[in-house]
Structure 1
Amino acid sequence: MSQALPPIVLDHPLVRHKLTRLRDRNTSTAGFRRLTRELSLLLAYEATRNLSLAPRHIEAPSGSMEGEELDGKKLCFVSILRAGNGLLDGMLDLVPSARVGHIGLRRDHETLEVSEYYFNMPSDIPGRTCIVLDPMLATGHSAAAALTRVKAAGATNPIFACLLAVPEGIAHMAELHPDVQIVTCSIDSHLDEHGYIVPGLGDAGDRLFGTR
C-alpha cells in the first residue's frame, strides 16, 4: 500500500481566531453559520492551491500580457449531508462556477457503521477536481464511504476538506484512501466513547441549523 499523504493543517492567525469563536458553546446559531462560512472560504483557498493553470493572452488597460487561468473542467464540491452544506457557501463564494454534488449518509450511533440514503452528482465527474466537504473527520467512516462513492463515479485525486480532524479518523482514511489529501483547520486530541471529537465543537449540523 502506498504511503498516505500527510494532512494539511491551516496554521494562520485568522483561522485560529475564528475556530476558537466557533468552538465556544455560547456562540449563537447565526454566529456559528457566519464563522463556518468564513472558515470554509479559507479552507477552499488552501484546498485549491495546486489547481493547474493554462496561459491566456489578454489586453490589460496599459498593454497586452500573458496571464493565467484555471485549466480543465470546473471544480466540483461534494457535500456530505447535512452538515457539509455549512461549508458550501464559503467555498462557492470563492469558486462560484463550481459544480455541486451531494451524498447522504447515516451513521449508526451504536456500531458507527455508515449507510447511504442519497447520492446526486454532476454527470461529468471524470476530469473534475472534487473536494469532499464535512465539518468533522471523526471516526472517518462517513468520509471514507463518501470518497469511495466519488471515486466510483469517476473522480480522480479527490480532496477532503474539514474544520476538525482527529488521529483516529486520519488513520482510517490513510488505510482506505491513502491518496486523498486531507485539508483541515485543526487536528484535535481524540474521540470520546460516543465517537465525538474532543475538544471538538459539538454537533456541527445541530449548531448550523439550530436543532440542538
Structure 2
Amino acid sequence: MDILLVDHPLVAARLSIMRDERTNNSSFRAALADLGTMLIYEASRDLRVEQFPLTTPVAATTGTRLADPPIIVPVVRAGLGMIDPALKMIPDAQVGFIGLARNEVTHEPVPYLEALPDDLSGRTVFVVDPMLATGGSLLHAVRILADRGATDITAVCMVSAQPGVDALAHSGLPVRLVTATIDPELNEDAYIVPGLGDAGDRLYGPRNIDL
C-alpha cells in the first residue's frame, strides 16, 4: 500500500491546534478545514488532467482541468467536516456518504447509511475521515467502495495510528493512504495515542446516540 505522509510546517501547525485539549469546537473546525484543504491538495497531485483552448485578456493559450473529478466519500459523522475543504479544492467533485458509528463496547463500526453510485468502476474515489484508529471503520468503508467496482481509492486521514495503517496495508484492498501523521499506538479504549480525542465530538459536540 502506498502511503503519503504529508510533512509540511503548516500541516504540523494546524495538527497541533487540533491536538491541543484547550482548542474549542470553533477553532478545531477551522484548523480541520485548513488541514483538510492541504491534504486534499496533496491527494490530488496525480489526478488525470486534460487541456483545452482558452483566451486570456492578452492572447490565446491552453488551459488545464481535471479529466474526471473524483467522488468524495466522507465517513459520517466526523468525515463531514472534510467535505467543504474537499469541494473548495475540487468544486466539480461528486459526493457520496457512508455512515458508520463506533460501538463503544466492542469498538466495532456500526453501519447506518450508504448513499453511493451503484457502479464505481473506473472512478477515482477519495474516502475522507479525520481518524484512522483500529482501521475497522475505514476498512468497512473501503470494502463497500470496492464491492461497487472501485479500484482507485485514496483514504485521506488527518491522524492515523500504526495499528490501523497496518490493518489497511494487510487488507489487500485497492487503497492508498494520505495522512498528516502516524501515531504509534491505541489505548485500551481504542483511541489514538497521542491523537486528538474524538474528532466528531470536537467538531460537533458529544453525540447522544445509544448503539
Which TM bucket (shorter chain)? Answer: over 0.9
Match of 2:70 among 70, 75, 79: 75
Q: What corresponds to 2:10 in structure 1?
A: 14
Q: What corresponds to 1:155 in structure 2?
A: 150
Partner SS state of residue 96, structure 2: strand
Report the CA distance between 1:60 and its aligned residue.
2.2
1:58 and 2:49 correspond: no
Match of 1:33 among 29, 32, 39: 29
Q: What corresponds to 1:49 in structure 2?
A: 45
Q: Is the contact between residue 163 and residue 184 of structure 1 (CA under 8 Å) also seen in structure 2?
A: yes
RMSD value over aligned CA atoms? 1.5
Q: Deviations over 1:106-143 (max 9, x none)?
A: 33333333332110013553332110011110000110
Q: In structure 1, how many angstroms separate the alpha carbons of the residues matched to 2:22 and 2:67?
A: 44
Q: What corresponds to 1:181 in structure 2?
A: 176
Runs ≥4 residues deviating over 2 A: 106-115, 122-128
Q: In structure 2, how many angstroms separate the alpha carbons of the residues matched to 1:8 and 1:60?
A: 36
Q: Deviations over 1:138-167 (max 9, x none)?
A: 000110010000111222211000110011
Q: Which shows bigger deviation, 176-185 or 199-208?
A: 176-185
TM-score normalized with structure 1 length: 0.92
Structure 1 residues 178, 123: CA separation in 2 closer, same or farther (over 3 Å shift)?
closer
Match of 1:199 among 194, 197, 203: 194
Q: In structure 2, how many angstroms separate the alpha carbons of the residues matched to 1:63 and 1:203?
A: 52
Q: Is the contact between residue 56 and residue 67 of structure 1 (CA under 8 Å) also seen in structure 2?
A: yes
Q: Using the aligned pairs only, state the percent identity.
A: 40
Q: Is the contact between residue 144 and residue 177 of structure 1 (CA under 8 Å) also seen in structure 2?
A: no
Letter in structure 2 aligned against 1:90: P
Letter in structure 1 aligned against 2:133: A
Partner SS state of residue 77, structure 1: strand
| Structure 2 residues not aligned, in runs of 5+ | none
Q: In structure 1, how many angstroms separate the alpha carbons of the residues matched to 2:18 and 2:103?
A: 26
Q: In structure 1, how many angstroms separate the alpha carbons of the residues matched to 2:135 and 2:25?
A: 26
Q: In structure 1, how many angstroms separate the alpha carbons of the residues matched to 2:77 and 2:56?
A: 44
Q: In structure 2, how many angstroms separate the alpha carbons of the residues matched to 1:178 and 1:109?
A: 26
